[in-house]
Amino acid sequence: MRIIFTSDTHGHLYPINYAKNCPENSGLFCIASQIEKDGNTLVLDGGDSLQGTPLLSYYLEHRNDYDFNPMAEGFNAMGLDYYTLGNHDFNFGYDAIADFAKYMKAQLISCNVNDLGGKVDIKKNVIHTLEDGTKVGITAAVTGFVNVWEQKDHLVQITVSDPIEALREQYEYLKDKCDITICIYHGGFEEDLKTGKLLSETAENQACKIMREMGFDILLTGHQHMTVEGLTIEGTYGVQPPSNAMKYCYLEVNADKSGKTEYQVVSRIETVNTPDERYDVMAKDHAFMDELSQKVQTWLDEPIGCLEKEIAPEEKLPTALHGSKVASLFNQVQLDYTGADFSCTSLANDPLGLKKEITVRDVLGIYQFANTVEVKKVTKKVLKQALERCAEYFDYDQETGEVKVSNIFLQPKVEHYNYDYYAGLEYSFDLTRPVGDRVVVLRKMDGTELLDDASFTLVTSNYRATGTGGYQCIGDCESVGSYADEMPDLLINYIRKHSPVGEIKNSIFSVVTAK
Protein backbone atom coordinates (compact mmCIF):
# COMPACT_ATOMS: atom_id res chain seq x y z
CA MET A 1 0.00 0.00 0.00
CA ARG A 2 1.23 3.49 -0.84
CA ILE A 3 0.11 6.87 0.49
CA ILE A 4 0.85 10.22 -1.14
CA PHE A 5 0.12 12.99 1.33
CA THR A 6 0.09 16.75 0.86
CA SER A 7 -0.88 19.43 3.35
CA ASP A 8 -0.74 23.22 3.70
CA THR A 9 -0.46 23.72 -0.06
CA HIS A 10 -1.74 27.29 0.44
CA GLY A 11 -2.99 28.05 -3.04
CA HIS A 12 0.10 26.78 -4.86
CA LEU A 13 -1.26 25.32 -8.07
CA TYR A 14 1.29 26.38 -10.70
CA PRO A 15 5.12 26.38 -10.42
CA ILE A 16 5.17 30.16 -10.02
CA ASN A 17 6.43 32.51 -7.33
CA TYR A 18 3.92 35.33 -7.80
CA ALA A 19 5.71 37.82 -5.55
CA LYS A 20 8.95 37.55 -7.57
CA ASN A 21 7.17 36.67 -10.84
CA CYS A 22 9.53 33.79 -11.55
CA PRO A 23 9.38 29.98 -11.90
CA GLU A 24 9.37 27.85 -8.76
CA ASN A 25 9.38 24.09 -8.28
CA SER A 26 6.04 23.78 -6.53
CA GLY A 27 2.36 23.33 -7.12
CA LEU A 28 -0.30 20.69 -7.36
CA PHE A 29 0.08 20.32 -11.13
CA CYS A 30 3.79 19.51 -10.73
CA ILE A 31 2.98 16.93 -8.05
CA ALA A 32 0.24 15.46 -10.22
CA SER A 33 2.68 15.09 -13.12
CA GLN A 34 5.24 13.10 -11.10
CA ILE A 35 3.14 10.68 -9.06
CA GLU A 36 1.90 7.27 -10.12
CA LYS A 37 -1.35 5.91 -8.74
CA ASP A 38 -2.76 2.38 -8.77
CA GLY A 39 -5.47 0.49 -6.93
CA ASN A 40 -3.30 0.12 -3.84
CA THR A 41 -2.44 3.82 -3.61
CA LEU A 42 -4.24 6.51 -1.61
CA VAL A 43 -3.76 10.21 -2.35
CA LEU A 44 -4.69 12.34 0.67
CA ASP A 45 -4.55 16.01 1.68
CA GLY A 46 -4.54 17.68 5.10
CA GLY A 47 -6.05 21.10 4.38
CA ASP A 48 -5.11 24.78 4.19
CA SER A 49 -5.66 24.91 0.45
CA LEU A 50 -7.69 28.10 -0.10
CA GLN A 51 -5.27 30.79 1.10
CA GLY A 52 -1.74 31.82 0.25
CA THR A 53 -1.32 32.91 -3.37
CA PRO A 54 -2.64 35.84 -5.45
CA LEU A 55 -4.24 33.27 -7.75
CA LEU A 56 -6.57 32.20 -4.94
CA SER A 57 -7.08 35.76 -3.69
CA TYR A 58 -8.23 36.83 -7.15
CA TYR A 59 -10.31 33.71 -7.73
CA LEU A 60 -12.15 33.98 -4.42
CA GLU A 61 -13.02 37.59 -5.19
CA HIS A 62 -14.38 36.65 -8.63
CA ARG A 63 -15.41 33.02 -8.20
CA ASN A 64 -18.94 33.60 -9.51
CA ASP A 65 -17.39 34.33 -12.92
CA TYR A 66 -15.98 30.80 -13.24
CA ASP A 67 -17.37 27.29 -13.52
CA PHE A 68 -14.32 25.68 -11.90
CA ASN A 69 -12.21 26.03 -8.76
CA PRO A 70 -8.47 26.20 -9.54
CA MET A 71 -7.33 24.29 -6.45
CA ALA A 72 -9.95 21.62 -7.05
CA GLU A 73 -8.58 21.24 -10.58
CA GLY A 74 -5.10 20.61 -9.16
CA PHE A 75 -6.25 18.05 -6.61
CA ASN A 76 -8.44 16.32 -9.19
CA ALA A 77 -5.43 16.06 -11.51
CA MET A 78 -3.52 14.38 -8.66
CA GLY A 79 -6.26 11.78 -8.32
CA LEU A 80 -6.95 12.88 -4.74
CA ASP A 81 -9.09 10.37 -2.87
CA TYR A 82 -9.83 12.08 0.46
CA TYR A 83 -9.11 15.45 2.06
CA THR A 84 -9.88 17.52 5.11
CA LEU A 85 -10.09 21.22 5.95
CA GLY A 86 -7.39 23.36 7.56
CA ASN A 87 -7.89 26.46 9.67
CA HIS A 88 -7.18 28.85 6.77
CA ASP A 89 -9.88 27.21 4.66
CA PHE A 90 -12.41 28.92 6.95
CA ASN A 91 -10.97 32.41 6.32
CA PHE A 92 -13.30 33.24 3.46
CA GLY A 93 -16.57 31.99 4.86
CA TYR A 94 -18.92 29.10 4.32
CA ASP A 95 -19.66 29.72 0.64
CA ALA A 96 -15.95 29.54 -0.27
CA ILE A 97 -15.71 26.11 1.38
CA ALA A 98 -18.90 25.00 -0.38
CA ASP A 99 -17.51 26.19 -3.73
CA PHE A 100 -14.28 24.24 -3.18
CA ALA A 101 -16.10 21.06 -2.16
CA LYS A 102 -18.49 21.36 -5.12
CA TYR A 103 -15.70 20.99 -7.65
CA MET A 104 -13.64 18.41 -5.75
CA LYS A 105 -13.90 14.80 -6.93
CA ALA A 106 -12.38 13.60 -3.65
CA GLN A 107 -14.46 13.00 -0.53
CA LEU A 108 -14.22 15.56 2.29
CA ILE A 109 -13.67 13.94 5.70
CA SER A 110 -13.77 15.60 9.11
CA CYS A 111 -15.19 14.26 12.33
CA ASN A 112 -15.16 17.62 14.12
CA VAL A 113 -16.49 19.91 11.37
CA ASN A 114 -20.27 20.06 11.17
CA ASP A 115 -22.10 21.42 8.11
CA LEU A 116 -25.24 23.25 9.23
CA GLY A 117 -25.82 24.91 5.85
CA GLY A 118 -26.35 21.69 3.92
CA LYS A 119 -24.06 22.58 0.99
CA VAL A 120 -20.97 20.58 1.97
CA ASP A 121 -20.86 16.79 2.01
CA ILE A 122 -18.65 15.97 5.00
CA LYS A 123 -18.20 12.40 6.22
CA LYS A 124 -16.87 11.60 9.67
CA ASN A 125 -15.00 8.57 8.34
CA VAL A 126 -14.67 6.25 5.38
CA ILE A 127 -13.60 2.63 5.03
CA HIS A 128 -11.70 2.32 1.77
CA THR A 129 -11.05 -1.12 0.30
CA LEU A 130 -7.86 -1.32 -1.73
CA GLU A 131 -7.44 -3.43 -4.84
CA ASP A 132 -5.74 -6.16 -2.79
CA GLY A 133 -8.67 -6.28 -0.36
CA THR A 134 -7.06 -4.35 2.48
CA LYS A 135 -9.60 -2.27 4.39
CA VAL A 136 -8.35 1.17 5.37
CA GLY A 137 -10.31 3.22 7.88
CA ILE A 138 -9.79 6.98 7.50
CA THR A 139 -10.96 9.83 9.68
CA ALA A 140 -9.82 13.44 10.01
CA ALA A 141 -10.03 16.57 12.14
CA VAL A 142 -8.91 20.20 12.21
CA THR A 143 -7.35 21.98 15.18
CA GLY A 144 -9.97 23.30 17.57
CA PHE A 145 -8.21 26.68 17.48
CA VAL A 146 -10.34 27.53 14.45
CA ASN A 147 -12.83 28.68 17.09
CA VAL A 148 -10.21 31.01 18.55
CA TRP A 149 -8.93 32.52 15.31
CA GLU A 150 -11.88 32.65 12.96
CA GLN A 151 -14.43 35.43 12.50
CA LYS A 152 -17.67 34.49 14.22
CA ASP A 153 -19.82 35.00 11.13
CA HIS A 154 -17.74 32.34 9.35
CA LEU A 155 -18.71 29.77 11.98
CA VAL A 156 -22.50 30.03 11.77
CA GLN A 157 -23.25 27.56 8.97
CA ILE A 158 -20.20 25.39 9.63
CA THR A 159 -18.92 24.68 13.14
CA VAL A 160 -15.88 23.05 14.73
CA SER A 161 -15.93 20.86 17.85
CA ASP A 162 -13.16 19.46 20.04
CA PRO A 163 -10.90 17.28 17.83
CA ILE A 164 -9.65 14.96 20.58
CA GLU A 165 -13.03 13.66 21.67
CA ALA A 166 -14.27 13.44 18.09
CA LEU A 167 -11.20 11.47 16.97
CA ARG A 168 -11.35 9.18 20.00
CA GLU A 169 -14.92 8.28 19.08
CA GLN A 170 -13.98 7.60 15.46
CA TYR A 171 -11.01 5.42 16.40
CA GLU A 172 -13.20 3.26 18.63
CA TYR A 173 -15.64 2.88 15.74
CA LEU A 174 -13.01 2.04 13.10
CA LYS A 175 -10.47 -0.09 14.96
CA ASP A 176 -12.29 -3.44 14.68
CA LYS A 177 -13.65 -2.84 11.18
CA CYS A 178 -10.39 -2.20 9.32
CA ASP A 179 -6.95 -3.64 8.68
CA ILE A 180 -5.29 -0.20 8.96
CA THR A 181 -6.52 3.04 10.55
CA ILE A 182 -5.41 6.47 9.34
CA CYS A 183 -6.05 9.86 10.93
CA ILE A 184 -5.54 13.06 8.94
CA TYR A 185 -5.05 15.84 11.50
CA HIS A 186 -4.70 19.49 10.55
CA GLY A 187 -2.62 20.24 13.59
CA GLY A 188 0.94 19.61 14.60
CA PHE A 189 3.22 18.27 17.30
CA GLU A 190 3.17 19.92 20.73
CA GLU A 191 6.36 18.21 21.91
CA ASP A 192 10.03 18.41 20.97
CA LEU A 193 10.26 15.30 18.80
CA LYS A 194 13.78 14.49 20.03
CA THR A 195 13.36 15.01 23.79
CA GLY A 196 9.61 14.73 24.34
CA LYS A 197 9.61 18.11 26.12
CA LEU A 198 6.22 19.82 26.02
CA LEU A 199 6.62 22.98 23.95
CA SER A 200 3.16 24.48 24.33
CA GLU A 201 0.41 24.31 26.93
CA THR A 202 -2.28 25.29 24.41
CA ALA A 203 -4.52 22.90 22.47
CA GLU A 204 -3.52 24.34 19.08
CA ASN A 205 -1.35 21.31 18.29
CA GLN A 206 -2.19 17.91 19.79
CA ALA A 207 -0.60 15.32 17.50
CA CYS A 208 1.48 13.74 20.28
CA LYS A 209 -1.60 13.48 22.47
CA ILE A 210 -3.45 11.71 19.66
CA MET A 211 -0.53 9.31 19.19
CA ARG A 212 -0.19 8.57 22.90
CA GLU A 213 -3.88 8.20 23.76
CA MET A 214 -5.35 6.55 20.66
CA GLY A 215 -4.27 3.64 18.52
CA PHE A 216 -4.28 4.91 14.95
CA ASP A 217 -1.73 3.13 12.79
CA ILE A 218 -0.83 6.26 10.84
CA LEU A 219 -1.20 9.96 11.72
CA LEU A 220 -0.83 12.42 8.83
CA THR A 221 -0.29 15.92 10.27
CA GLY A 222 0.00 19.49 9.01
CA HIS A 223 -0.44 23.09 10.11
CA GLN A 224 3.10 23.64 11.44
CA HIS A 225 4.78 23.70 8.01
CA MET A 226 7.63 21.59 9.36
CA THR A 227 9.25 18.54 7.81
CA VAL A 228 8.67 15.31 9.72
CA GLU A 229 9.83 12.45 7.54
CA GLY A 230 8.59 9.80 9.92
CA LEU A 231 8.49 8.91 13.60
CA THR A 232 6.69 6.47 15.87
CA ILE A 233 5.05 7.30 19.21
CA GLU A 234 3.23 4.55 21.12
CA GLY A 235 2.85 2.47 17.96
CA THR A 236 1.46 5.28 15.76
CA TYR A 237 3.54 6.33 12.77
CA GLY A 238 3.45 10.09 12.07
CA VAL A 239 4.61 12.35 9.24
CA GLN A 240 4.27 15.98 8.17
CA PRO A 241 5.17 17.67 4.86
CA PRO A 242 6.43 21.26 4.61
CA SER A 243 4.17 23.91 3.11
CA ASN A 244 3.38 25.38 -0.31
CA ALA A 245 3.33 22.16 -2.36
CA MET A 246 7.13 22.14 -2.70
CA LYS A 247 7.40 18.68 -1.13
CA TYR A 248 5.06 15.87 -0.18
CA CYS A 249 5.10 12.72 1.94
CA TYR A 250 5.41 9.30 0.34
CA LEU A 251 4.61 6.32 2.56
CA GLU A 252 4.81 2.59 1.92
CA VAL A 253 2.90 0.20 4.18
CA ASN A 254 4.05 -3.40 3.98
CA ALA A 255 2.13 -6.29 5.52
CA ASP A 256 3.66 -9.28 7.27
CA LYS A 257 0.90 -11.86 7.47
CA SER A 258 2.76 -14.61 9.31
CA GLY A 259 0.37 -15.27 12.12
CA LYS A 260 -0.96 -11.94 13.38
CA THR A 261 -1.19 -9.29 10.70
CA GLU A 262 1.37 -6.57 11.27
CA TYR A 263 2.29 -3.60 9.14
CA GLN A 264 5.58 -1.80 8.75
CA VAL A 265 5.59 1.78 7.54
CA VAL A 266 8.48 3.52 5.79
CA SER A 267 8.31 7.05 4.44
CA ARG A 268 10.26 9.80 2.80
CA ILE A 269 9.81 13.43 1.84
CA GLU A 270 9.69 13.85 -1.94
CA THR A 271 10.80 17.10 -3.58
CA VAL A 272 8.65 18.48 -6.36
CA ASN A 273 10.43 18.20 -9.71
CA THR A 274 10.98 20.81 -12.39
CA PRO A 275 8.06 20.81 -14.85
CA ASP A 276 8.55 18.17 -17.55
CA GLU A 277 6.69 16.76 -20.56
CA ARG A 278 3.97 15.29 -18.35
CA TYR A 279 3.43 18.71 -16.82
CA ASP A 280 3.19 20.26 -20.29
CA VAL A 281 0.46 17.79 -21.23
CA MET A 282 -1.41 18.57 -18.02
CA ALA A 283 -1.11 22.30 -18.67
CA LYS A 284 -2.62 21.83 -22.14
CA ASP A 285 -5.48 19.85 -20.64
CA HIS A 286 -6.18 22.81 -18.35
CA ALA A 287 -5.81 25.54 -20.97
CA PHE A 288 -9.33 26.68 -20.07
CA MET A 289 -7.73 28.22 -16.93
CA ASP A 290 -5.28 30.38 -18.90
CA GLU A 291 -7.67 33.34 -18.96
CA LEU A 292 -7.85 33.32 -15.15
CA SER A 293 -4.05 33.18 -14.91
CA GLN A 294 -3.65 36.10 -17.31
CA LYS A 295 -6.16 38.21 -15.38
CA VAL A 296 -4.27 37.47 -12.17
CA GLN A 297 -0.97 38.63 -13.71
CA THR A 298 -2.56 41.79 -15.10
CA TRP A 299 -4.06 42.59 -11.71
CA LEU A 300 -0.77 41.96 -9.92
CA ASP A 301 1.14 44.32 -12.21
CA GLU A 302 -1.27 47.19 -11.61
CA PRO A 303 0.72 50.21 -10.24
CA ILE A 304 -0.74 51.61 -7.03
CA GLY A 305 1.83 54.18 -5.87
CA CYS A 306 5.38 54.58 -4.65
CA LEU A 307 7.73 55.14 -1.74
CA GLU A 308 10.13 58.06 -1.44
CA LYS A 309 12.86 55.49 -0.87
CA GLU A 310 13.05 51.72 -1.41
CA ILE A 311 12.99 49.45 1.66
CA ALA A 312 15.63 46.73 1.38
CA PRO A 313 14.70 43.22 2.61
CA GLU A 314 14.87 43.23 6.40
CA GLU A 315 16.65 40.33 8.11
CA LYS A 316 14.79 38.97 11.13
CA LEU A 317 17.13 39.43 14.12
CA PRO A 318 18.64 42.85 13.17
CA THR A 319 15.16 44.14 12.39
CA ALA A 320 13.76 42.93 15.71
CA LEU A 321 16.66 44.66 17.49
CA HIS A 322 16.57 47.95 15.63
CA GLY A 323 13.08 48.35 14.18
CA SER A 324 11.30 47.63 10.91
CA LYS A 325 10.31 50.09 8.20
CA VAL A 326 7.82 47.56 6.83
CA ALA A 327 6.22 47.10 10.26
CA SER A 328 6.06 50.88 10.71
CA LEU A 329 4.11 51.07 7.44
CA PHE A 330 1.72 48.31 8.54
CA ASN A 331 1.18 50.00 11.89
CA GLN A 332 0.57 53.38 10.28
CA VAL A 333 -2.06 51.87 8.00
CA GLN A 334 -3.81 50.37 11.03
CA LEU A 335 -3.65 53.63 13.00
CA ASP A 336 -4.85 55.69 10.05
CA TYR A 337 -7.77 53.33 9.40
CA THR A 338 -9.01 52.97 13.00
CA GLY A 339 -7.79 56.04 14.91
CA ALA A 340 -6.58 53.83 17.76
CA ASP A 341 -4.05 55.11 20.32
CA PHE A 342 -1.52 52.37 19.64
CA SER A 343 -0.91 49.66 17.05
CA CYS A 344 1.00 46.41 16.89
CA THR A 345 1.83 44.20 13.94
CA SER A 346 4.08 41.32 13.04
CA LEU A 347 5.96 40.27 9.91
CA ALA A 348 6.07 37.04 7.93
CA ASN A 349 8.92 34.58 8.50
CA ASP A 350 10.87 35.60 5.39
CA PRO A 351 12.91 38.82 5.10
CA LEU A 352 10.72 41.38 3.34
CA GLY A 353 11.28 44.72 1.67
CA LEU A 354 9.42 47.01 -0.71
CA LYS A 355 10.47 48.51 -4.03
CA LYS A 356 10.13 52.23 -4.68
CA GLU A 357 7.48 51.75 -7.38
CA ILE A 358 4.74 49.57 -5.91
CA THR A 359 2.27 47.22 -7.57
CA VAL A 360 -0.45 44.99 -6.18
CA ARG A 361 2.06 42.13 -6.49
CA ASP A 362 4.45 43.90 -4.12
CA VAL A 363 1.78 44.42 -1.46
CA LEU A 364 0.60 40.82 -1.58
CA GLY A 365 4.23 39.74 -1.36
CA ILE A 366 4.86 41.57 1.94
CA TYR A 367 1.43 40.97 3.52
CA GLN A 368 0.55 37.38 2.71
CA PHE A 369 -2.54 36.77 4.85
CA ALA A 370 -6.18 37.78 4.65
CA ASN A 371 -6.13 39.32 8.13
CA THR A 372 -8.62 41.94 9.19
CA VAL A 373 -7.99 44.40 12.04
CA GLU A 374 -9.53 44.63 15.48
CA VAL A 375 -9.33 47.29 18.20
CA LYS A 376 -8.90 46.21 21.81
CA LYS A 377 -9.35 48.19 25.02
CA VAL A 378 -6.08 47.80 26.95
CA THR A 379 -4.27 49.08 30.03
CA LYS A 380 -0.63 49.80 30.80
CA LYS A 381 -0.45 46.42 32.53
CA VAL A 382 -1.67 44.62 29.39
CA LEU A 383 0.78 46.51 27.16
CA LYS A 384 3.66 45.60 29.45
CA GLN A 385 2.65 41.92 29.50
CA ALA A 386 2.46 41.88 25.71
CA LEU A 387 5.84 43.57 25.35
CA GLU A 388 7.39 41.14 27.81
CA ARG A 389 6.23 38.36 25.52
CA CYS A 390 7.91 40.19 22.60
CA ALA A 391 11.12 40.47 24.63
CA GLU A 392 11.18 36.66 24.98
CA TYR A 393 12.15 36.64 21.30
CA PHE A 394 15.74 37.38 22.27
CA ASP A 395 18.14 34.87 23.79
CA TYR A 396 20.99 36.74 25.49
CA ASP A 397 24.31 35.21 26.55
CA GLN A 398 25.41 37.04 29.71
CA GLU A 399 29.06 36.00 29.25
CA THR A 400 29.63 36.79 25.59
CA GLY A 401 26.93 39.40 25.06
CA GLU A 402 25.68 37.48 22.01
CA VAL A 403 22.03 37.98 21.07
CA LYS A 404 20.16 35.40 19.02
CA VAL A 405 16.57 34.35 18.42
CA SER A 406 15.18 32.26 21.26
CA ASN A 407 14.31 28.65 20.54
CA ILE A 408 10.85 29.44 21.90
CA PHE A 409 10.20 31.16 18.56
CA LEU A 410 11.96 28.50 16.48
CA GLN A 411 10.67 25.17 17.84
CA PRO A 412 8.69 23.16 17.04
CA LYS A 413 7.80 25.68 14.35
CA VAL A 414 9.55 28.84 13.14
CA GLU A 415 7.40 31.70 14.45
CA HIS A 416 9.11 35.01 13.71
CA TYR A 417 5.56 36.26 13.06
CA ASN A 418 4.87 36.08 16.79
CA TYR A 419 7.29 38.95 17.48
CA ASP A 420 5.31 42.20 17.41
CA TYR A 421 6.34 45.76 16.55
CA TYR A 422 4.48 48.59 18.30
CA ALA A 423 3.56 52.11 17.18
CA GLY A 424 2.53 55.12 19.25
CA LEU A 425 4.84 54.11 22.10
CA GLU A 426 8.33 54.66 23.38
CA TYR A 427 9.58 51.38 24.82
CA SER A 428 12.84 49.65 25.62
CA PHE A 429 13.99 46.11 26.40
CA ASP A 430 16.93 45.36 28.71
CA LEU A 431 18.14 41.93 27.64
CA THR A 432 20.51 41.66 30.60
CA ARG A 433 17.45 41.28 32.81
CA PRO A 434 15.55 37.98 33.21
CA VAL A 435 12.76 37.02 30.84
CA GLY A 436 9.50 38.46 32.11
CA ASP A 437 11.18 41.58 33.51
CA ARG A 438 12.83 43.12 30.47
CA VAL A 439 10.57 46.10 29.69
CA VAL A 440 12.33 49.06 31.31
CA VAL A 441 10.72 51.96 29.40
CA LEU A 442 7.04 52.20 28.48
CA ARG A 443 5.37 55.54 27.73
CA LYS A 444 3.78 57.54 24.94
CA MET A 445 6.03 58.85 22.19
CA ASP A 446 5.75 62.42 23.54
CA GLY A 447 7.18 61.23 26.84
CA THR A 448 3.85 61.19 28.69
CA GLU A 449 3.66 58.37 31.21
CA LEU A 450 0.90 55.80 30.95
CA LEU A 451 -1.31 55.93 34.01
CA ASP A 452 -2.03 52.60 35.70
CA ASP A 453 -5.77 53.21 35.90
CA ALA A 454 -6.19 54.61 32.37
CA SER A 455 -7.45 52.66 29.36
CA PHE A 456 -6.24 52.91 25.78
CA THR A 457 -7.10 51.48 22.38
CA LEU A 458 -4.78 49.06 20.59
CA VAL A 459 -5.32 48.01 16.96
CA THR A 460 -3.94 44.67 15.86
CA SER A 461 -4.73 41.85 13.46
CA ASN A 462 -7.73 39.62 14.10
CA TYR A 463 -5.16 36.81 14.52
CA ARG A 464 -3.33 38.54 17.38
CA ALA A 465 -6.59 39.84 18.87
CA THR A 466 -7.48 36.27 19.85
CA GLY A 467 -4.39 36.08 22.08
CA THR A 468 -2.65 33.62 19.80
CA GLY A 469 1.14 33.41 19.94
CA GLY A 470 1.46 33.85 23.69
CA TYR A 471 -0.54 37.09 23.90
CA GLN A 472 -3.49 35.93 25.98
CA CYS A 473 -3.34 39.26 27.81
CA ILE A 474 -4.53 40.89 24.57
CA GLY A 475 -7.05 38.14 23.85
CA ASP A 476 -8.68 38.67 27.24
CA CYS A 477 -9.28 42.38 26.58
CA GLU A 478 -12.60 43.82 25.46
CA SER A 479 -12.99 44.32 21.72
CA VAL A 480 -14.22 47.82 20.90
CA GLY A 481 -14.00 47.66 17.12
CA SER A 482 -13.96 44.92 14.51
CA TYR A 483 -13.54 45.59 10.78
CA ALA A 484 -14.31 43.49 7.70
CA ASP A 485 -11.74 45.00 5.29
CA GLU A 486 -8.61 42.90 4.84
CA MET A 487 -5.15 44.32 5.50
CA PRO A 488 -3.80 43.89 1.94
CA ASP A 489 -6.68 46.07 0.70
CA LEU A 490 -6.03 48.63 3.44
CA LEU A 491 -2.35 48.75 2.45
CA ILE A 492 -3.18 49.24 -1.22
CA ASN A 493 -5.61 52.05 -0.42
CA TYR A 494 -3.15 53.77 1.93
CA ILE A 495 -0.32 53.72 -0.61
CA ARG A 496 -2.62 55.06 -3.32
CA LYS A 497 -3.73 57.90 -1.06
CA HIS A 498 -0.35 58.88 0.40
CA SER A 499 2.13 58.34 -2.45
CA PRO A 500 4.94 59.02 -2.39
CA VAL A 501 5.07 57.42 1.06
CA GLY A 502 7.99 58.70 3.11
CA GLU A 503 9.80 56.95 5.92
CA ILE A 504 7.43 56.50 8.85
CA LYS A 505 8.58 56.98 12.42
CA ASN A 506 5.71 56.05 14.72
CA SER A 507 7.65 54.53 17.64
CA ILE A 508 10.76 55.02 19.73
CA PHE A 509 12.35 51.66 20.44
CA SER A 510 15.68 50.54 21.85
CA VAL A 511 17.35 47.40 23.17
CA VAL A 512 19.91 47.36 26.01
CA THR A 513 22.50 44.58 25.63
CA ALA A 514 25.14 45.59 28.19
CA LYS A 515 25.02 46.14 31.92
- Do the beta carbons of residue 182 and residue 45 sit within 8 Å? no
Q: Please give the Cα distance from 448 to 451 (Å, whole number).
A: 9
Domains of the chain: 2-295 (3.60.21.10), 303-512 (3.90.780.10)
pLDDT tens track, the chain, 515 positions: 999 999 999 999 999 998 888 999 999 999 999 999 999 999 999 999 998 899 999 999 999 999 999 999 999 999 999 999 999 999 999 999 999 999 999 999 999 999 999 999 999 999 999 999 999 999 999 999 999 888 889 999 999 999 999 999 999 999 999 999 999 999 999 998 988 988 877 899 999 999 999 999 999 999 998 899 999 999 999 999 999 999 999 999 997 655 445 789 999 999 999 999 999 999 999 999 999 999 999 999 999 999 999 999 999 999 999 999 999 999 999 999 999 999 999 999 999 999 999 999 999 889 988 788 999 999 999 999 999 999 999 999 998 999 999 999 998 889 999 999 999 999 999 999 999 999 999 999 999 999 999 999 999 998 899 898 999 999 999 989 888 788 999 999 999 999 999 999 999 999 999 86
Q: Can you list the positions of beta strands (E) in 78-148?
A: 82-83, 107-109, 113-115, 122-123, 125-129, 135-142
Note the pLDDT of residue 192. Answer: 87
Note the pLDDT of residue 259. Answer: 41
Identify the three-state secondary structure at position 344.
strand
Note the pLDDT of residue 372. Answer: 87
pTM of the complete model = 0.84
268 Cβ partners below 8 Å, 6+ apart? 229, 230, 249, 250
First to last CA, the chain: 61
